[in-house]
Amino acid sequence: MNKDTTTGGEGHQGNQLGTRHAGTYRTVRYAPERYSPERTAARAADFHALLDGRRSVRHFSPEPIADAVIDDLVRAASTAPSGAHKQPWTFCVVTDPALKKAIREAAEEEERENYSGRMTPEWLEDLAPLGTDWRKEFLEVAPCLIVVFKRAYETKPDGTRRKNYYVEESVGLASGFLLAAARNAGLVTLTHTPSPMNFLLRLLQRPENERPFLLIPIGYPAVDCEVPDLVRKPLEEVMVRY
Ligand SMILES: Cc1cc2nc3c(=O)[nH]c(=O)nc-3n(C[C@H](O)[C@H](O)[C@H](O)COP(=O)(O)O)c2cc1C
């Protein structure tokens, strides 16, 4: 199967009906897997356990990841829903050591300023338990950096602009899918925001319609990797039933 059809209108879940509704997409039958109640409950619990094991990692092994794996992670991310199906994202995959070094240096420059005055005292207080500081060695050690850009608008071949919708929400969802896909593959990530991140536009020579969204190092954890022993809010604190 050509995996790149995931971005097209040709579904692969069932027979194509060839019918047309008011819009221009042809519709296709959609009948995703149904499970027994027991299997549904087990899958829901298993998926929670899988995601509960995801942690932000700041100590990476330099071990490389196969290009094909990264391709599939980005394909998974790009299946996220998006406003008017605009898919307003670009995933830049950086493995070149010189470029990773340049990104680390630029990020540390911003983070040095953030930690020495640009962040509010309250912000620094909230970060203190995590033990983070301006040093970002992981940006050079991790084998791969995925820099997620949001696309504020699209430019048509004739030069006119076309709006994208709910860009923030859409790219946030796609980034979440990426983290979940990495976790599922046994890889670890960090959601990093060395703000302001405009240096990424320059270093990666991105077009004018793109804005840096997240910088995500990805790889395997270092053998001596440790993470803060944090506790997640219990269900009662995050869910309200009506
Ligand atoms: C939008 C966003 C920005 C973040 N920025 C940073 C960052 O710049 N540096 C960092 O070390 N962690 C960053 N984090 C990671 C959080 O500190 C981390 O998700 C949180 O402490 C919970 O830990 P967990 O991801 O292991 O569950 C960020 C997370 C999010 C969602």
Question: What are the pLDDT digits (tens) for 184-202?
Answer: 999 999 999 999 999 999 9
Domain carrying residue 201:
57-223
Assess whether pLDDT exceeds 80 at residue 162.
yes
Number of domains, the chain: 1
Q: How confident is the model at residue 11 (pLDDT cuts 50, 70, 90)?
A: very low
Q: Is residue 172 part of a domain?
A: yes
Ligand 1 atom closest to 55 (CA): 26
CB 221 within 8 A of CB 188: yes
Nearest to 107 by CA among 61, 58, 56, 62: 58
Return the pLDDT at 20: 52
Return the pLDDT at 10: 35
SS3 225: coil
Q: Is residue 124 part of a domain?
A: yes
Return the pLDDT at 145: 98
CB of 132 within 6 A of ligand 1: the answer is yes
CB of 56 within 6 A of ligand 1: the answer is yes
Q: Is residue 109 part of a domain?
A: yes
Ligand 1 atom closest to 195 (CA): 8
Q: 224 C-alpha to center of ligand 1: Å? A: 20
**Residue 89 CB coordination number (10 Å):** 25
Residue with structure tokens 């009948």?
Answer: 31
Q: Is residue 187 part of a domain?
A: yes
* Mean pLDDT over each residue of the chain, to the nearest integer: 92
Residue with structure tokens 């995500």?
Answer: 216
**Percentage of the chain surpassing pLDDT 90?**
89
- What value, to the nearest 5°, has the Cα angle with vertex 169 and ends 105 and 107? 5
Nearest-CA residue for ligand 1 atom 29 is 191
Q: 151 C-alpha to center of ligand 1: Å? A: 22
Q: Is residue 183 part of a domain?
A: yes
Q: What are the angstrom distances between the C-alpha of 191 and each of 126, 175, 181, 188, 241?
A: 17, 9, 14, 10, 30
> Burial of 129 by CB count in 10 Å (0-12 exposed, 13-18 middle, 19+ buried)?
exposed
Question: What are the pLDDT digits (tens) for 38-86?
Answer: 999 999 999 999 999 999 999 999 999 999 999 999 999 999 999 999 9
Q: Is residue 144 part of a domain?
A: yes
Q: Is residue 65 part of a domain?
A: yes
Nearest-CA residue for ligand 1 atom 28 is 191
Q: Is residue 99 part of a domain?
A: yes
CATH of the domain at 106: 3.40.109.10
